[in-house]
């Protein structure tokens, strides 16, 4: 047996005051008796009859000394070395993804994982070192290798479960890569499996132990949520909800839709195991507010996927600026009732601030971060680098599912000349020709951008129905995330919210479901990273008053059945039922328990003596 804190033995000196107090504590009453002869005789006979009576007389003192001995011993933290390993490194990878919020462990899976981690820490040797990695929506080294157990314990206590999809793979990968520098290293994964393919991960010689957290799979969740314009009415909206049950039995579910906590939709469904059910709710587009979808299933283990939110903005005109441009384009845009068109001959980034979407029929200025815009000709520049001219490029194909190309038929369209694309500038081709991309689209610097790699007036496109349809689709796509637009801003929980802010950034504040959320503003771009909780986030200041919703909507997290084993590249680790981390076995807990028992006995003895 060894001791972590041998200096604790110095406290044994407390026995002296205890002894002194015991023998001096009582101011004994003096009683005059005729003779001590018989008292002495009694004591002599006592000694002869029962040598233990003397012991009994000082029982309380003995118990107190024994109690002190136990407490001192516990303080010295004695331990038994259960393995010969003198020095080890331990990497704790704690899964904080949404599925760890399942309540089939107490208080939830993460709580159970933290407890297991604490037990492992308690068994660590004095020279062992430990690292703590949190594998949630973001992978983070919470505590680098340290021998300070208290530091790790504190960090464990601060870890919270998120409502977001996590990546155990990233956490484990980080842990393994950091573990490579250590010779005798063990990576302990405290997770329910994560639902990811880990077979390509290389352990690099490190021992990986998977401590399975959780047992059951009874969970139903909201898998998908979308708010779209009603096909019937321009102003009305439709809410699409998909729910699925992952348990083995069939359950009765209730789906309720609230608009600003007023019930606006209700559906009762019987959910069969692993059979998703989609449903549509009509929403009055003239109203704005927070839509909350609540799934209620008896015995549901994971609350994070039972609620989803959407922000419903009142339908209003979108401010669209046409810089330069031709009369046909202006006419098409003006024809859209959603569009409030402003025409400018030329513009700078400053003059365009506040526009929901900009169509460039003229030179594109610099500094358009966060702005949604479309460049309508290869002649006006844009994010993609365009090079030499290509004659008579043929359209090979287009992404029919892309919002810009919905109901757009480009078959048979002729283009006289296009520009070759050197660098797409972060955009992706949505229309491909035989000489390269013809139309690029994508998100760039906080805004959506569409760029044509040809001049439409060197094609017959304006003569086709496809042209106005594509222009109006572009308006819809560019303004999809705009405040006040008809389409809700829906983010996966944990994903960053990025958008341009016009004014000075000082006043921007973001309030999440649990209070103020950190936000950063750099170069006029607002970034809200901490969106781990499901709920509505409201951004105020910097010229903005917008809200966005973060939802889990993750099949991976809703499917909470824990994996029996992790399949790694070189090693398959089975589930360990108990703490597998070998090392030292500290004895202070049983010693303290014994001391407590002794205190009870001492109290009983004292009480008995007092009332006898």
Partner 1 sequence: MILSPDFLKRLAALTLRSRKRGAGVRAGERRSRRRGQSQEFADHRPYVPGDDLRFLDWHLYGRLDALWVKLFEEEEDRVVQVLLDCSTSMEGEKLEYARQVAAALAFIALGHNDRVTVAGLTDAVATYAPPRRGRSASNIVFRSLEQVHPDGRSDPARALASFPRQRGTGIALLFTDFLYPEGPDAALRQLLARGNEVHVFHIVAPAELRPAVDGDLVLVDAETGDELAISVDEATLDRYEATVHAWAEEMEITARRLGAGYTRVLTSTPLDAFIFKDLRRSGVVGR
- Compute the least distance from the CB of residue 23 to partner 1, in Å: 9
| Choice from 7, 16, 33, 577 touching partner 1 (CB under 8 A) | 33
Whether 404 contacts 427, CB under 8 Å: no
**51 is a site residue for partner 1 (CB under 8 A):** no
Q: Can you say whether the dihedral through the CA atoms of 52, 55, 59, 65 is positive or negative? A: negative
DSSP letter, residue 40:
H
For partner 1, give the closer residue by CB, 28 or 262.
Answer: 28
Strands, E assignment, 542-605:
544-551, 566-567, 572-573, 584-586
Q: Tell me, residue by residue from 552 to 591, as one string, x for binding to partner 1 by CB under 8 A and - for no binding.
A: ----------------------------------------
349 Cβ contact list (under 8 Å, min separation 6): 365, 366, 367, 368, 371
| Choice from 34, 183, 231, 515 touching partner 1 (CB under 8 A) | 34
- Compute the least distance from the CB of residue 49 to partner 1, in Å: 9
| Choice from 30, 232, 345, 506 touching partner 1 (CB under 8 A) | 30
For partner 1, give the closer residue by CB, 10 or 19.
Answer: 19
**41 is a site residue for partner 1 (CB under 8 A):** yes
**412 is a site residue for partner 1 (CB under 8 A):** no
Question: How many residues in the shown chain lie near partner 1 by CB under 8 A?
Answer: 22
Whether 186 contacts 91, CB under 8 Å: yes
For partner 1, give the closer residue by CB, 28 or 183.
Answer: 28
Tell me how far apart the alpha carbons of residues 71 and 248 are, in angstroms, rounded to a whole number: 51
Kindly indicate which of the ranges 43-51, 85-93, 169-177, 191-199 contains the residues binding partner 1, using the contact rule CB under 8 A: 43-51
- Compute the least distance from the CB of residue 63 to partner 1, in Å: 15
Kindly indicate which of the ranges 36-44, 199-207, 477-485, 557-565 contains the residues binding partner 1, using the contact rule CB under 8 A: 36-44
Tell me the C-alpha to C-alpha distance, in Å, between residue 423 and each of 143, 379, 419. Answer: 41, 16, 12
Strand partners, 492: 551
3-state secondary structure of 151: helix
For partner 1, give the closer residue by CB, 26 or 577.
Answer: 26
**42 is a site residue for partner 1 (CB under 8 A):** yes
Tell me how far apart the alpha carbons of residues 541 and 506 are, in angstroms, rounded to a whole number: 8
Residue tagged 């991309």 (tokens)? 437
Nearest CA to 156 among 92, 90, 212?
92
Tell me how far apart the alpha carbons of residues 562 and 195 are, in angstroms, rounded to a whole number: 8
For partner 1, give the closer residue by CB, 25 or 232.
Answer: 25
- Compute the least distance from the CB of residue 35 to partner 1, in Å: 4
Return the half-sphere exposure (C-beta side, CA atoms, 13 A cut-off) of residue 99: 34
Please state the length of the chain. Answer: 612
Tell me how far apart the alpha carbons of residues 610 and 603 are, in angstroms, rounded to a whole number: 10
Tell me how far apart the alpha carbons of residues 593 and 602 are, in angstroms, rounded to a whole number: 14
For partner 1, give the closer residue by CB, 45 or 254.
Answer: 45
Residues 340-379 that bind partner 1 (CB under 8 A): none
For partner 1, give the closer residue by CB, 45 or 268.
Answer: 45
**400 is a site residue for partner 1 (CB under 8 A):** no
**37 is a site residue for partner 1 (CB under 8 A):** yes
Whether 168 contacts 196, CB under 8 Å: yes
Strand partners, 279: 241
For partner 1, give the closer residue by CB, 40 or 180.
Answer: 40
| Choice from 1, 9, 21, 39 touching partner 1 (CB under 8 A) | 39
For partner 1, give the closer residue by CB, 35 or 200.
Answer: 35
- Compute the least distance from the CB of residue 67 to partner 1, in Å: 20
Tell me how far apart the alpha carbons of residues 338 and 592 are, in angstroms, rounded to a whole number: 74
| Choice from 16, 24, 26, 150 touching partner 1 (CB under 8 A) | 26
**609 is a site residue for partner 1 (CB under 8 A):** yes
| Choice from 1, 14, 38, 428 touching partner 1 (CB under 8 A) | 38
For partner 1, give the closer residue by CB, 9 or 39.
Answer: 39
Nearest CA to 373 among 488, 421, 382?
382
Whether 60 contacts 602, CB under 8 Å: yes
- Compute the least distance from the CB of residue 611 to partner 1, in Å: 10
Tell me how far apart the alpha carbons of residues 459 and 317 are, in angstroms, rounded to a whole number: 31
| Choice from 29, 261, 327, 412 touching partner 1 (CB under 8 A) | 29
For partner 1, give the closer residue by CB, 2 or 607.
Answer: 607
Residues 57-86 that bind partner 1 (CB under 8 A): 57
Residues 122-151 that bind partner 1 (CB under 8 A): none
The tokens describing 562, both together, are 């824990």
| Choice from 10, 40, 154, 335 touching partner 1 (CB under 8 A) | 40
Q: Can you say whether the dihedral through the CA atoms of 220, 223, 228, 230 is positive or negative? A: negative
Residues at the interface with partner 1 (CB under 8 A): 26, 28-43, 45-46, 57, 609, 612
């Amino acid at each position: 047996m060894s001791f972590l804190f041998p200096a604790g033995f110095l406290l044994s000196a407390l026995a002296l005051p205890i002894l002194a107090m015991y023998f001096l504590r009582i101011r004994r009453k003096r009683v005059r008796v005729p003779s001590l002869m018989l008292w002495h005789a009694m004591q002599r006979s006592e000694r002869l009859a029962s040598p233990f009576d003397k012991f009994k007389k000082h029982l309380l003192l003995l118990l107190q000394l024994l109690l002190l001995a136990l407490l001192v011993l516990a303080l010295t933290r004695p331990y038994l070395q259960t393995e010969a390993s003198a020095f080890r490194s331990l990497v704790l990878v704690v899964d904080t993804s949404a599925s760890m919020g399942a309540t089939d462990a107490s208080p939830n899976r993460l709580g159970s994982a933290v407890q297991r981690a604490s037990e492992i820490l308690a068994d660590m040797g004095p020279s062992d070192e430990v690292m703590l990695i949190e594998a949630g929506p973001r992978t983070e080294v919470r505590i680098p290798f340290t021998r300070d157990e208290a530091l790790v314990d504190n960090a464990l206590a601060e870890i919270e479960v998120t409502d977001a999809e996590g990546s155990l793979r990233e956490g484990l990968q980080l842990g393994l890569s950091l573990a490579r520098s250590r010779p005798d290293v063990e990576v302990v994964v405290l997770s329910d499996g994560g639902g990811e393919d880990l077979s390509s991960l290389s352990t690099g010689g490190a021992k990986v132990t998977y401590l399975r957290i959780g047992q059951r799979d009874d969970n139903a969740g909201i898998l998908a949520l979308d708010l779209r314009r009603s096909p019937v009415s321009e102003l009305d909206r439709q809410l699409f909800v998909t729910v699925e049950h992952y348990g083995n039995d069939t359950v009765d579910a209730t789906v309720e839709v609230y608009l600003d906590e007023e019930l606006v939709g209700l559906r009762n469904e019987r959910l069969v195991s692993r059979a998703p059910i989609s449903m549509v709710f009509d929403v009055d587009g003239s109203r704005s507010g927070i839509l909350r979808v609540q799934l209620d299933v008896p015995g549901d283990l994971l609350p994070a996927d039972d609620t989803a939110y959407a922000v419903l903005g009142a339908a209003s005109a979108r401010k669209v600026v046409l810089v330069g441009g031709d009369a046909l384009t202006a006419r098409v845009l003006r024809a859209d009732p959603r569009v409030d068109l402003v025409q400018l001959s030329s513009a700078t980034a400053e003059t365009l601030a506040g526009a929901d979407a900009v169509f460039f029929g003229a030179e594109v200025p610099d500094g358009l971060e966060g702005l949604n815009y479309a460049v309508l000709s290869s002649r006006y520049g844009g994010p993609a680098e365009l090079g030499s001219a290509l004659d008579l490029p043929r359209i090979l194909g287009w992404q029919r599912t892309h919002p810009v190309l919905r109901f757009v038929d480009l078959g048979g369209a002729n283009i006289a000349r296009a520009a070759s694309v050197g660098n797409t500038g972060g955009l992706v081709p949505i229309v491909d020709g035989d000489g390269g991309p013809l139309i690029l689209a994508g998100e760039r610097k906080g805004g959506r951008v569409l760029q044509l790699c040809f001049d439409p007036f060197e094609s017959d496109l304006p003569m086709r129905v496809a042209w106005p349809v594509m222009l109006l689709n572009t308006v819809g796509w560019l303004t999809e995330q705009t405040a006040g637009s008809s389409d809700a801003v829906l983010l996966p929980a944990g994903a960053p919210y990025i958008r341009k802010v016009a004014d000075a950034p000082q006043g921007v504040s973001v309030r999440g479901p649990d209070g103020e959320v950190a936000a950063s503003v750099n170069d006029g771009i607002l970034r809200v990273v901490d969106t781990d909780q499901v709920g509505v986030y409201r951004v105020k200041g910097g010229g903005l008053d917008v809200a966005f919703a973060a939802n889990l909507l993750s099949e991976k997290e809703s499917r909470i059945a824990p994996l029996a084993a992790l399949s790694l590249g070189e090693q398959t680790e089975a589930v360990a039922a108990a703490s597998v981390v070998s090392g030292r076995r500290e004895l202070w807990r049983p010693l303290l328990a014994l001391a407590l028992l002794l205190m009870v006995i001492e109290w009983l003895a004292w009480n008995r003596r007092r009332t006898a």
